[in-house]
Amino acid sequence: MDRRKFIKDLGIASASTLLISSSSACAQNTGVEKQLEPFRAQKLAAENNASFTVNRQMTDEVIAATYNNYYEFTNRKSTVWKKTDKFRTRPWEVEISGLVENPMTLDVDDLIKQMPIEERIYRLRCVEAWAMVVPWIGFPMKALLEKVQPKAEAQYVRMLTFLDADMAPEQQNVRMPWPYFEGLTLAEAMNDLTLLAVGIYGHILPPQHGAPIRLIVPWKYGFKSIKSVVSIELTDQKPRTFWNTLAPREYGFEANVNPNVPHPRWSQASERMIGTGKRHPTMIYNGYGSSVAHLY
DSSP states along 199-231: EETTEEPPGGGTTT-EEE-TTB-GGGS-SSEEE
**CA distance to 1, 35, 94, 271, per residue, from 159 (Å):** 30, 28, 10, 28
Maximum separation of any 2 CA atoms in the chain, in Å:
53
Evaluate if residue 6 carries a pLDDT over 80.
Answer: no
Evaluate if residue 267 carries a pLDDT over 80.
Answer: yes
Judged by phi (left if over 0) then psi (alpha if -120 to 50, else beta), residue 35 lies in alpha
Question: What percentage of residues in the chain have a pLDDT greater than 90?
Answer: 90
The pairing of strands 118-125 and 104-107 is unpaired
- Parse the chain into domains and list their residue ranges: 2-295
DSSP states along 67-130: S--BTTTBS-GGGGGGG-TT---SS-EEEEEESBSS-EEEEHHHHHHHS--EEEEEEEE-TTSE
Q: What's the angle, vertex CA 199, arms to CA 151 and CA 222, rounded to 5?
A: 70
CATH architecture of 2-295: Alpha-Beta Complex (3.90)
User: In the prediction, which pLDDT does 91 show?
Assistant: 97
Return the minimum-mean-pLDDT range out of 26-35, 74-83, 156-165.
Answer: 26-35
Evaluate if residue 7 carries a pLDDT over 80.
Answer: no
Going by pLDDT thresholds of 50, 70 and 90, the confidence category of residue 27 is low
Q: Cβ(254)–Cβ(248) under 8 Å? A: no
In this prediction, residues 31-59 reach a mean pLDDT of 96
User: In the prediction, which pLDDT does 29 show?
Assistant: 85
User: In the prediction, which pLDDT does 20 show?
Assistant: 45
Q: Cβ(46)–Cβ(137) under 8 Å? A: yes
